[in-house]
Structure 1
Amino acid sequence: MPTIRIFTLQNLLRSSMLLLAFGSNGSSAADRYLIDSEHTFSYFEYNHWGLSMQRSRFDITTGSIELDRDSQSGNIEIDIDATSISTGSDGFNQIMRTGEFFDTANFPKITFKSSSLQFDGPQLTQVDGDLTIKGISHPVTLQISNFNCRFMLIYGKQACGANGSASILRSDYKLGRYVPFVSDAVTLHISVEAIKEY
């Protein structure tokens, strides 16, 4: 009888250790955040005929973020509604939606899908991924600043935010009209806030 009790205790200890090990592995699952479109927007800037830096924006940006800060990994998907372009001029908005530029009738969305996240200590500093405009995809690197996560009383949930920017060439995406008079190089900026889903 004592032998059976010792054997049972050993099994319990082994089982507890396995459960602890399994639990520690499972605890590193990524948190999922939904992009808050009311506090997220995308804009781009370019040199206009050597006279000034012009800025235009997209009013609707959505998507999701999966983030595991312990393992410093995750996945980011951003959808920009190209039809929501806002240049400050209704006439210019219509021109930018035509086939000469974003061709929103055939390609209403601009997408970014991450392939890797880079951290410096606890700070997210870089996101590599593919940017797709007019059905054409190219790898881009978003340089990240102002990365921060905190509990937000207004939502009753955790939220994360950051600013990202990447340099691209318009001509890579068949958007090269008026190059070189209007610069081929464009800087895309994405200011993101996202709320934890669960």
Structure 2
Amino acid sequence: MTQLTRRTLMAGLVALPLAHPAQAALRPYVLVPEGTSVDFTFNLSGIAQSGTMPIKSANIQINLADLTNSRVDVVLNVAEARTRLPFARNPMLSKDVLDAASYPTIQFVSTRVQLGDGGRISRGAKIIGDLTLRDVTRPITLQADLFRPPGSDTNNLDELSIRLTGALNRHDFGASGYADLVQDTVGLDIQAEIKRAE
């Protein structure tokens, strides 16, 4: 996903709360793979590290007239996770941490969308949902931004971009291995390009 300035982001958001009544129903969107990434960060021996995890499937339903009624269900492929440090990958996937052999997926299912100031999906908007990791389900809150491509028409919502950021405590899900080396908090940065399903 290309870097966007704050001005471009805010300009893209202007049209979203003003959708027409005819757009009230949930509309399915599909991921654009080349514009989508799920990145995570962690601290190893006091040094910030990062990795990626591919999306296995995604069910995205957006209500353009009432964004609070939108729904997201995303499944990640744990076995294909990668880190920038090759030697850290096997310990991460081991039974002591993600246990990819027993729990090959991570799932996020939204339960609520909370709009930001002015009823926009910006300025503090959040997606609240349930994250299931190692067969443990816990609530998680992600900061959310939704915007149109730069230069697109205000009424054309066929293509959108989403950014979700947040963090979790890995011990809440039983992924507690290597506690002497890896800090508790794992950061999340999800960027996705989506397009309306035909």
Which bracket does the TM-score occupy, shorter chain normalised?
0.7 to 0.9
Counterpart of 1:97 in structure 2 is 93
Asked if 2 retains the 8 angstrom alpha-carbon contact of 1:60 and 1:84, the reply is no
CA 1:94 to 1:181, structure 2 compared with 1: closer, same or farther past 3 Å? closer
Q: Distance in 2 between matches of 1:45 and 1:77?
A: 22
Cα offset, 1:38, TM superposition = 2.4
User: Which residue number corresponds to residue 55 of structure 1?
Assistant: 50
The one-letter amino acid paired with 1:168 is L
Q: Is the Cα contact below 8 Å between 2:77 and 2:105 reproduced in 1? A: yes
1:117-148 CA-to-partner distances (Å, cap 9, x unmatched) read 12233325210000111111100000113x21
Residue in 2 that maps onto 1:133: 133
Consecutive unaligned residues in structure 1, runs of 5 or more: 1-23
Are 1:33 and 2:29 counterparts? yes
For 1:18, the equivalent position in structure 2 comes to: none
Note the 1:96-175 alignment, pairs <5 A.
96-120=92-116, 121-123=119-121, 125-145=125-145, 147-150=146-149, 158-175=158-175
Q: Which one is further off, 35-44 or 25-34?
A: 25-34
Q: TM-score, normalised by structure 2?
A: 0.76
Larger-gyration structure (1/2): 1
Q: 1:86 aligns with which of 82, 88, 100?
A: 82
Q: Which runs of 4+ in 1 moved over 6 A?
A: none
Give me the identity figure in percent. 22
Farther off after superposition, 56-65 or 185-194: 56-65
Q: CA deviation at 1:90?
A: 4.2
Unaligned runs of 5+ in 2: 1-19
Q: Kindly provide the amino acid, as one letter, of the partner of residue 42 in structure 1.
A: V
- What TM-score, normalized to structure 1? 0.76
Matched, 1:64 2:63: no
Match of 2:6 in 1: none
- Following superposition, the deviation at residue 91 of structure 1 comes to 4.0
Structure having the higher strand fraction is 1
Amino acid in structure 1 at the alignment position of 2:82:
S
SS of equivalent to 2:101: coil
